[in-house]
Amino acid sequence: MTNEQIEVLKDVIDTLTTVKDNKEERYKHVINSGGSDHILIVNRERHLESMIEWAIDLIGQNFDVEGEE
């Protein structure tokens, strides 16, 4: 594992820990579509789902998860 990959994992862990500890009921998400930003208000469950999806995407971009055994 490279130093960059270790930093990515630390970022994922820190972010998910912060998200888990934040108990707000509503969250503002900014979606960029076609060069313009749209604001979407989501509930806690959808926010957690979005952050987990972000973490999976980030890990997939930085690790060869399909080719390793």
Tell me if residue 7 falls in helix, strand or coil: helix
pTM of the predicted model, to two decimals? 0.81
Distance of CA 62 to the CA centre of its chain: 13
Distance of CA 38 to the CA centre of its chain: 18
Could you tell me the two tokens for 45? Answer: 């469950």
Residues near 5 by beta carbon (within 8 Å), at least 6 away in sequence: 62, 63
Identify the residue with better confidence: 67 or 64: 64
pLDDT tens digits, one per residue of 8-62: 999 999 999 999 999 999 999 999 988 999 999 999 999 999 999 999 999 999 9
